[in-house]
Homo-oligomer: A and B are copies of this chain.
Amino acid sequence: MSPRTAIDAEGAWFEPDRIAELRRHLPIPYIDVVPVRTDVDGTVAQVGLLLRASGTGRIVRTIVSGRVLIHETLREAIARHIDKDLGSMALPRIPASPVPFTVAEYFPTPGQSLFTDPRQHAISLAYLVPVDGEASPQEDALELNWYDVAELLESGVMDELEGGHDIVVRRALAHAGVI
């Protein structure tokens, strides 16, 4: 999640200097997506997490997450980031409502909230998105794994999420009524 990765991820729309400048002046609007697979009755059964190289060379787990671009709707941003991370064969059911299940406020300084992002102050609207098709890791992602809810919570996988993404996942599962 280095500045460089972020810029690449957005399609190099900004020069690195430009986005660094913007980040000094404004909170950056974000969306966080927790991809899930559901049972036929709608119950969340599995959570999808990506494994990717961070900007600093470490391997980290992440949810789908990224900026909302200028003139882009939230729905477009959700669809674009899912497409970018899970591929065009993923069939996301983007929520009918724009109301997020939580809002995660990421600050550069740890401790100002439960969420940190060393690059920026981001305000992220978080959505639970059932995915029906064949999702596969894209670009800089190494793996996409689906975890049964119980397995996810009992394993150490949640600890591999950074910056508070584990809390976003927990809130998604609490909202969905499975924890």
| A contact residues, range | 35 or more
Question: In whole Å, how far is A76's beta carbon from the nearest beta carbon of chain B?
Answer: 7
Instruction: Identify which of residues 91-126 in chain A touch chain B, using a CB-to-CB cut-off of 8 Å.
Output: 93-103, 105, 107, 112-114, 121, 123, 125
Counted per complex, copies of this chain come to 4
Asked if A71 is at the interface of the complex by the 8 Å CB criterion, the answer is: yes
State whether A74 and B26 are in contact (beta carbons under 8 Å apart), knowing that A97-B128, A177-B97 are contacts in the complex.
no
Q: Which of B14, B26, B94 contacts A29 (CB 8 A)?
A: B26
Give Cα distance in the complex from A178 to B25, angstroms.
Answer: 27
A42 pairs with B113, CB closer than 8 A:
no
Residues of A within 8 A of B (CB): 14, 18, 22, 24-29, 36, 38, 41-44, 68-76, 79, 93-103, 105, 107, 112-114, 121, 123, 125, 128, 130, 167, 170-171, 174-179
A–B pairs, 21, beta carbons within 8 Å: A14-B25, A22-B22, A22-B26, A27-B68, A29-B29, A42-B93, A42-B96, A73-B112, A96-B128, A97-B128, A97-B175, A97-B177, A98-B103, A98-B177, A99-B102, A99-B177, A102-B175, A114-B177, A170-B179, A171-B174, A171-B175
